[in-house]
Structure 1
Amino acid sequence: MNQIRYERRTYTNGYTPIQKLERLSKALGGPAIWIKRDDQLGLTAGGNKTRKLEYLVADAIKQGADTLITCGAVQSNHCRLTLAAAVREGLRCQLVLSKPEAGEYNPQASGNHLLFHLMGVEKIELIPADGDIQVAMEALAQAVEKEGKKAYIIPLGGSNQIGSLGYMACADEIEQQAMEMGTPFDYVVTGTGSGGTHAGLVAGFLARQSHTEVIGINVSGTKEGKESQVRDLLYRTAALVGLQGEISDDAVRCDDQYVGAGYAIPTEEMVEAVTLVARTEGILLDPVYTGKAMAGLIGMIRKGELTPDDRVLFLHTGGTPALYTVPQLFIP
Structure 2
Amino acid sequence: MILRETEHKSIVGWVRESCKGSPLMLGRKGLWPESRLQKLDRPGLWIKRDDELSFTLSGPKYRKFAGLSQAMKASDHVVSWGSARSAFLLGLSQMAKEEGRSLELILLRSTPYQDFGADILYQNAFAAHSQHWLSREDWPTAAFLANRIAEGRGRTLILPEGGVSPKALAGPMSLALDLTEQSLALGLDFREIWVDSGSGFTAQALILALGTILKNPPLIHVVLCAGKDDDFRQGLALRLEEAKNELALDWRAAPFECHKASIGASYGSTPKAVWQKIAKEHQEKGLLLDPIYTAKLMLTFEAHRAAHGESPGETLLIHSGGSLNNFGFEKGLIVYEG
Q: TM-score range by the shorter chain?
A: 0.7 to 0.9
Structure-2 residue corresponding to 1:194:
199
- Which of residues 173, 185, 188 is equivalent to 1:183? 188
2:189 partner amino acid: P
Residue 292 of structure 2 is matched in structure 1 by 288
Q: Report the counterpart of residue 83 of structure 2 in structure 1.
A: 73
Whether the aligned pair in 2 keeps the contact of 1:73 and 1:98 (CA below 8 Å) is yes
Q: Does 1:234 align with 2:237?
A: no
What is the count of residue pairs matched by the alignment? 315
Per the alignment, residue 283 of structure 2 pairs with 279
Question: For 1:113 and 1:160, how far apart are their aligned partners in 2?
Answer: 28
Cα RMSD, aligned residues only: 2.8
Distance (Å, rounded) in 1 between the aligned partners of 2:83 and 2:124: 15
1:305/1:269 Cα in 2 relative to 1: closer, same or farther (>3 Å)? farther
Residue 124 (structure 1) aligns with? 131
- Residue-by-residue CA offset, 1:227-246 (whole Å, 9 max, x unaligned): 2223332342244222215x
Aligned partner of 1:211 in structure 2 is 217
Q: Gaps (5+ residues) in structure 1?
A: 26-30
Aligned 8 A contact 1:87 1:119 in 2: no
Secondary structure of the 1:328 match is coil
Counterpart CA distance in 1 for 2:123 and 2:192 is: 35
- Residue 28 of structure 1: aligned partner: none
Query: Does residue 323 of the first structure (1) align with residue 323 of the second (2)?
Result: no
Quick check: 1:48 aligned with 2:60?
yes
Change in Cα spacing, 1:43 to 1:302, as seen in structure 2 (3 Å) is closer
**What TM-score results when the alignment is normalised by the length of structure 2?**
0.81
| Alignment CA distance shift 1:130-1:195 (3 Å) | farther
Mapped to 1, the partners of 2:267 and 2:123 lie a distance apart of: 21
CA 1:49–1:266 in 2, change beyond 3 Å: closer, same or farther? Answer: same
CA distance in 2, matches of 1:310, 1:129: 47
Q: Residue 142 of structure 2 aligns with which residue?
A: 136
The 1:163–1:96 alpha-carbon spacing in structure 2 relative to 1, beyond 3 Å, is same
TM-score (normalised: structure 1): 0.82
Once structures 1 and 2 are overlaid, which stretch shifts more, 200-209 or 156-165? 156-165
Contact 2:94 2:125 (C-alpha < 8 Å) held by counterparts: no
Cα distance in 2 for residues equivalent to 1:305 and 1:93: 49
CA distance in 2, matches of 1:327, 1:294: 23
Alpha-carbon distance between aligned partners in 2 of 1:81 and 1:239, rounded to the nearest angstrom: 27
Other-structure match for 2:7: none
After superposition, give the CA deviation of every residue in 1:141-179 in whole Å (9 maximum; x if it has no partner): 533545x45431212222233322122222011011011
2:167 pairs, out of 162, 173, 188, with 162
Letter in 1 for 2:316: L
What secondary structure sits across from 1:162 in the alignment?
helix
Offset, 1:137: 4.6
Give 5+ residue unaligned stretches, structure 2. Answer: 1-9
The superposition leaves residues 222-281 of structure 1 with CA deviations (integer Å, 9 ceiling, x where unpaired) of: 223222223332342244222215x46x73421124373522121344334323321221
CA distance in 1, matches of 2:268, 2:95: 24
Q: Could you tell me how far apart the structure 1 residues matched to 2:55 and 2:280 are?
A: 27
Listed as ranges, the matches of 1:248-263 within 5 Å are 251-258=255-262, 260=264, 262-263=266-267
214-223 or 68-77: bigger deviation: 68-77
Identity of aligned residues (%): 21
Give per-residue Cα distances to partners, 1:101-126, cap 9 Å, x unaligned: xxx32153531651551475303334
Amino acid at match of 2:52: Q
Q: 1:282 to 1:131 in 2, by over 3 A?
A: farther
State the SS of the aligned residue for 1:186.
strand
Contact 2:117 2:327 in 1 (8 A): yes
